[in-house]
Amino acid sequence: MLQVPFIRENKELVIERLAKRNMDASQMIANVIELDEDRRSIQTQLDNTLAESNTISKEIGMLFKKGEVDQANALKAKTTDLKEASKSLSEQLTTKTDALNELLYKIPNIPHESVPSGNSEEENEEVFREGDIPELNQDALPHWELTKKYDIIDFELGSKITGAGFPVYKGKGARLQRALIQYFLDRNSEVGYEEIIPPFLINTDSGFGTGQLPDKEGQMYEIANNVSNETLYLIPTSEVPVTNIYRDAMLSDTQLPIKHTAYSPCFRREAGSYGKDVRGLNRLHQFEKVEIVRVEKPEDSYQALDEMVNHVKSILKELKLPYRILRLCGGDLGFTSALTYDFEVFSTAQDRWLEISSVSNFETFQANRLKLRFKNSEGKKELAHTLNGSALALPRVLAGILENYQTEKGIKVPEVLIPYTGFSIID
RNA sequence: GGAGAAAUGGCAGAGUGGUCGAAUGCGGCAGUCUUGAAAACUGUUGAGGGUCACACCUCCGGGGGUUCGAAUCCCUCUUUCUCCGCCA
């Protein structure tokens, strides 16, 4: 959520930057400013009314102490009108505040100046590419054929147990999956990310904190909570519970930066997709991911973003997978993000790029909702910046490994993973 | 699942209807002393809204109520603790 004072003072900049997302925000921004002015004016009226009735109440107290009951009772009568006035004013205030918030929830984050304009993923900007695309045999298979051939992931079995998009990993497939999780966590820990195992269900406050709610309930599975009657959601990413650790937090500047890594299953409804996009491991309702999350001082956050990008690069380099990095254009940028780099691994047998990581700086957009602040070196309170990235999402990395490492004799295991798998080939 | 107790500022912990946004201690910050540090002493120190700045308003787990007036009384929800039961 954007900060109203910032919008007020930087109206033109906000409209101009939001235009990168192909939206004309001028009307929304004008409405925000107007609603905020109304809100403040009502607030002032209400404050004055309350001040008056507070004064009277104090007088009444004094009169009772002195034993002047008649005078006290006379004053009581005066408060009736004030009470009605303040009741009506506070109702108006609630209405305005709700309207303002509802509007603010609909305004996405302001893109960073380096974000290219553009409508769709076609206009994302490739900023880096590394790794050789292997020459595969004529009879090279896409991963959904390989998983069947070697019996390592069973999609039909998952459909039987749950439904489409809930695969069952078997034998060496399960082992390879676990090896990847362990390897990612180890690599992240090595460079200072503290490991977290968060809850896999979140409440609505947490959903609001990181921006999944309101409006994006559609991506999450809802769970009825019999205990408290509050709706819970299966996490779409561990970003949500991990970032929400710092909801309503006042940190000292010596606590920053905060660096966490977390493994979790992720659950996404992903309605409306079909065909090659959802084939095999390309898109699932349940998948595994290792995430990195950072809380930073504003002046450090873009350096932190670079560090995260370089860290993910180093992992992909070790895995010897061909990949590229895209800077997302305004039209493809997530609602809460100011700048996002997507990592894509080349799926040789499908002849297409698959997104395996997304690394973003949210600046203060999440922190403002979360009320995540810190005291800077001058003792002043400031909103922190939040960032996160996948390091990494499992299914498509697995797809990339299976397809790129296939040989006539079987699928080789990337060297760095062999200590974790305990085998070097799937055959 | 049953019975009881509790929830107050960064932390601990007073406060049961009226100068209480809240004593006190710890912690933090500033100063004195010191070559420097520690100790000691002195001062200062909750959050949000609002204002050029004051004033002023709101907040004592969340929501609702009683009252001229609520941290304090009532209702309700949540959470925590103790005891019993059950249990991976």
- For residue range A66-80, what is the model confidence (pLDDT) as tens digits? 777 777 788 888 888
Q: What is the pLDDT of residue A349?
A: 81
- What's the DSSP call for residue A122? G
Closest-lying nucleotide for A49 based on CA to C1': B57
CA atoms within 13 A on the CB side of A235: 25
Taking the C1' atom of B69, which residue's CA lies nearest?
A: A57
pLDDT over 70 at A273, yes or no: no
* Residues A114-137: tens digit of each pLDDT: 999 988 888 999 999 999 888 877
Q: What is the pLDDT of residue A380?
A: 75
Q: At A153, list the tokens.
A: 């992931």
A65 contacts A109 by C-beta, under 8 angstroms: no
* Residues A25-65: tens digit of each pLDDT: 999 999 999 999 999 999 899 899 998 888 888 888 888 77
Q: Which residues pair with A389 in a beta bridge?
A: A292, A359
Cα–Cα distance, A249 to A369 (Å, whole number): 12
Distances from the Cα of A144 to the Cα of A48, A140, A282, A350, A417, angstroms: 69, 12, 10, 10, 21
* Residues A212-239: tens digit of each pLDDT: 887 777 789 988 765 566 788 999 999 9
Which of the four pLDDT bands, split at 50, 70 and 90, describes residue A275? low
Q: What is the pLDDT of residue A272?
A: 57
Measure, in angstroms, how far nucleotide B8 C1' is from residue A186 CA.
Answer: 43
Question: What residues have CB less than 8 Å from A306, skipping those under 6 apart?
Answer: none
Q: What is the mean pLDDT of residues A324-345?
A: 95
Cα–Cα distance, A416 to A380 (Å, whole number): 46
Q: Which nucleotides of B are covered by protein (CB under 7 A)?
A: 10, 18, 29, 47-51, 55-58, 68-69, 77-79
Closest-lying nucleotide for A80 based on CA to C1': B68
pLDDT over 70 at A1, yes or no: yes
Q: What is the pLDDT of residue A271?
A: 62
A411 contacts A402 by C-beta, under 8 angstroms: yes
pLDDT over 80 at A138, yes or no: no
CA dihedral over A315, A320, A321, A326, signed as positive or negative: positive
pLDDT over 80 at A110, yes or no: yes
Measure, in angstroms, how far nucleotide B67 C1' is from residue A60 CA.
Answer: 13
* Residues A167-216: tens digit of each pLDDT: 999 999 999 999 999 999 999 999 999 999 999 988 888 888 888 887 77
A193 in helix, strand or coil?
coil
Q: What is the pLDDT of residue A229?
A: 65
Strands (E), A185-304: 194-196, 201-202, 222-223, 232-234, 250-252, 258-267, 286-296
Q: What is the pLDDT of residue A63?
A: 82
* Residues A242-264: tens digit of each pLDDT: 999 888 887 877 788 899 999 99
Closest-lying nucleotide for A44 based on CA to C1': B50
Starting at the edge strand found earlier in the chain, the sheet holding A425-426 runs A406-407, A410-412, A425-426
Measure, in angstroms, how far nucleotide B23 C1' is from residue A230 CA.
Answer: 39
Q: What is the pLDDT of residue A347?
A: 87
A305 in helix, strand or coil?
helix
Q: In 3D, which of A188, A18, A109 has the Cα closest to residue A367?
A: A109
Q: What is the pLDDT of residue A79?
A: 82
This prediction's pTM: 0.90
Strand B neighbors by CB, 7 A: A 40, 43-44, 46-48, 50-51, 53-58, 60-61, 64, 76, 79, 83, 227-229, 250, 373, 379, 381
Q: Tokens 């904190």 sit at which residue?
A: A209
Q: What is the pLDDT of residue A254?
A: 78
Tell me, letter by letter, the H, E, C secondary structure of A207-238.
HHHHCCCCCCHHHCCEECCCCCCCCEEECCCC
Q: What is the pLDDT of residue A216?
A: 76
Using left for φ > 0, alpha for ψ between -120 and 50, and beta otherwise, residue A417 falls in alpha
A375 in helix, strand or coil?
strand
Chain mean position to CA A212: 7
A408 contacts A171 by C-beta, under 8 angstroms: no
Tell me, letter by letter, the H, E, C secondary structure of A409-427.
CEEECCHHHHHHHCCCEEC
Closest-lying nucleotide for A73 based on CA to C1': B68
A287 contacts A393 by C-beta, under 8 angstroms: yes
Measure, in angstroms, how far nucleotide B48 C1' is from residue A366 CA.
Answer: 18
A200 in helix, strand or coil?
coil
Cα–Cα distance, A20 to A2 (Å, whole number): 16
Cα–Cα distance, A258 to A400 (Å, whole number): 31
A240 contacts A212 by C-beta, under 8 angstroms: yes
Cα–Cα distance, A285 to A235 (Å, whole number): 11
A137 contacts A408 by C-beta, under 8 angstroms: yes
Asked whether this complex has an ipTM greater than 0.90, the answer is no
